[in-house]
Amino acid sequence: MDRRDFIKKAMLSAVAGAMVSPGAIAREAEKQVSVEERGTGILNYNPNMQYRPMGRTGVDVSALGFGMLRLPMLASGHVDMDQSVEMVHRAIEGGVNYIDTGRVYINGESEQAVGKALAGGWRDRVYVTSKSPWWVMERPEDFERLFDESRRAIGTDVIDFYHIHMIMHRGWREKVLPYRLIEKMEKLKAEGKIRFMGFSFHDSLQLFKQVVEYTPAWDFCLIQHNYLDYEYEAGVLGPKYAAANGMGLAVMKPVRTGFLARLPQSMKDALASTGVRKPDTEWALDYLWDIPEVSVAVSGMGSMADVEENLKYAAKASPNMLTPAEREALGAAIRAFRSTPGHIDCTGCYQCIPCPQNVAIGYIFAYVYNNYLVHRDLKRAMADYTVSMSPVQRGDPASSCVACGQCLPKCPRHLDIPRLMDRVKEALGK
């Protein structure tokens, strides 16, 4: 049915007695045509899902992506494959067309779960991603080996969106450039083994710009962003910069590894004080979907309830969706977080690294310690602190600081970093 036919039909119904205003008819017609027109060519189109262009790739991705890092686990310590497969199928039925995994996620079991879920025809309904981990490479040829392992585990000849995993200053300098990983990705793309090339990122905005500018061949990137960490890593400027360079943008950790899905009372109160009420997770996702440059919010879903909840929120995901009152509410929540007694006024901008001792300064202050102050949950803080950090990835803990002072002049907030490291050591024990 085209727009004219739809309006005619709707007008006839109105005349026949339905109480429909001409404005409502026009709006409904717009919606109807939009559904029919936009549905054409969108992979796995579902009118209850929103889709967005993925930069210069020419494809539309679902506003909600399935992050396969936080899958349900069995008591044996392995992924619950049956439940994971069911969840992925439900997400695909709900219109999700972007499945995000990585070679090292859950020791390779994440890719296996993707492979199981996409067998039997489901593969054709989604874009599948994976990531090449530079830190496990001992020689340049390991890149091809890891890529083939990913293809085998997922059960696909072609990976749609392939990333260099977790670019940070150390990996960039020691592996990505000398091993010529970007050139290797370009070759895979030329051979048709990947469709689009990109990277995931954890470092400063300065390095982010350097990586983006390294080659016009990048199609997309994946960054970490949420409403609490305005300047953390690539920050809020990262999406603008990526979009200005024609890249699609996926955003990971929308709920800040669970923190924004279980807000402390002070933040809940601040949000509610403005009169706008919605669940914690919905706030976090709406903030990302409001940013026009964000193509897909990759949400790590660990249960069927997560999938159902996120699908419901994604149905209304649109750019510039937040009202002035909602923006004010988020501002109030940020202020409440920053008012926590003992809060370190570090934005996680990473301008102070590299540290000669490889201390992960911004990550420790902005992410681990400030979170800890709010919940005072040492077990949870240590999980962030020890599991997410390693000498080759995020960096070393506060106890590695030798108080050399080299970072001091680099901090725009003039933080006394060595003294604050002592405070972290005292609280977290290392």
Q: Summarize as ranges the residues that interact with ligand SF4 (CB under 6 A).
A: 346-352, 355-357, 359, 361-362, 365, 401-407, 410-411, 413, 415, 417-418, 421
At closest approach, how far in Å is the CB of 28 from ligand SF4? 50
**Distance from C-alpha of 166 to C-alpha of 169, rounded to nearest angstrom:** 10
Give whichever of 238 and 362 is closer to ligand SF4, judged by the CB atom. 362
Give whichever of 72 and 362 is closer to ligand SF4, judged by the CB atom. 362
Give whichever of 198 and 348 is closer to ligand SF4, judged by the CB atom. 348
At closest approach, how far in Å is the CB of 195 from ligand SF4? 35
**HSE-up of residue 230 (Cα within 13 Å, Cβ side):** 9
Give whichever of 77 and 409 is closer to ligand SF4, judged by the CB atom. 409
Give whichever of 20 and 415 is closer to ligand SF4, judged by the CB atom. 415
Give whichever of 47 and 354 is closer to ligand SF4, judged by the CB atom. 354
Give whichever of 220 and 232 is closer to ligand SF4, judged by the CB atom. 232
At closest approach, how far in Å is the CB of 250 from ligand SF4? 23
At closest approach, how far in Å is the CB of 168 from ligand SF4? 13
Secondary structure of the chain in the HEC alphabet? CCHHHHHHHHHHHHHCCCCCCHHHHHHHHHHHHHHHHHHCCCCCCCCCCCEEECHHHCCEEECEEEECCCCCECCCCCECHHHHHHHHHHHHHCCCCEEECCCCHHHHHHHHHHHHHHCCCHHHHCEEEEEEEHHHCCCCCHHHHHHHHHHHHHCCCCEEEEEEEEECHHHHHHHHCCCCHHHHHHHHHHCCCEEEEEEEECCCHHHHHHHHHHCCCCCEEEEECCCCCCCCCCCCHHHHHHHHCCCEEEEECCCCCCHHHCCCHHHHHHHHCCCCCCCHHHHHHHHHHHCCCCCEEEEECCCHHHHHHHHHHHCCCCCCCCCHHHHHHHHHHHHHHHCCCCCCCCCCCCCCCCCCCCECHHHHHHHHHHHHHHHCCHHHHHHHHHHCCCCCCCCECHHHCCCCCCCHHHCCCCCCHHHHHHHHHHHHCC
Give residue 387's identity as a one-letter amino acid code: V
Give whichever of 54 and 344 is closer to ligand SF4, judged by the CB atom. 344
Give whichever of 300 and 395 is closer to ligand SF4, judged by the CB atom. 395
Give whichever of 228 and 407 is closer to ligand SF4, judged by the CB atom. 407
At closest approach, how far in Å is the CB of 425 from ligand SF4? 11
At closest approach, how far in Å is the CB of 346 from ligand SF4? 3
Q: Which residues contact 18 (CB under 8 A, 6 or more apart)?
A: none
